[in-house]
Amino acid sequence: MAIRQALVGGLAQSVIDLNGPGRYVHWGFIQISVANLVVIALMFVVFVAAILVPFPKRRGEDR
């Protein structure tokens, strides 16, 4: 169990290091955490994909 926890914990830490203060972006009077900025960027990506990616058609549907 300890080995499994160490493996899983190590993997998570290698992707996102949560041991330390958060990282922030400063742009004039705007200050935002990198985590929130990533979420907003993801929302933009999903929004654009929702418009551009074709919706699946029913079998035999011709439109």
Partner 1 sequence: MTAGSGEPKVDVQADGPEDAGQWSAKLRRAAVSAFPPGRLLPDRQPAYVASWIYVFGALTLAALAIVVLSGSVLAIEGPTWWHLSRVGLFVNSMHLWSVELFFFFMVIHLWGKFFMAAWRGRRRATWITGVLSFVVSVAAAFSGYLSQQNFDSQWIATQAKDGINATGAGAFFNVLNFGQMLMWHILLLPAAVGLLVIVHILLVRRRGVVPPFAPDPGDLVEPDRGATAGDPTVARMAAP
**Rule CB under 8 A: which residues touch partner 1?**
39, 42-43, 46-47, 49-51, 53, 55, 57, 63
- Residue pair 25/34 in contact (Cβ under 8 Å)? The answer is yes
Q: Identify which of residues 1 and 3 has a Cβ nearer to partner 1 in the complex.
A: 1
Residue 5 Cβ, how far from partner 1 at the closest point, in Å?
Answer: 12
Q: How far is the CB of 38 from partner 1 (least distance, A)?
A: 12
Distance CA 25, CA 40 (A): 13
DSSP state of 56: P
Is residue 5 classed as helix, strand or coil in its secondary structure?
helix
Give least dist CB 3 to partner 1, A. 18
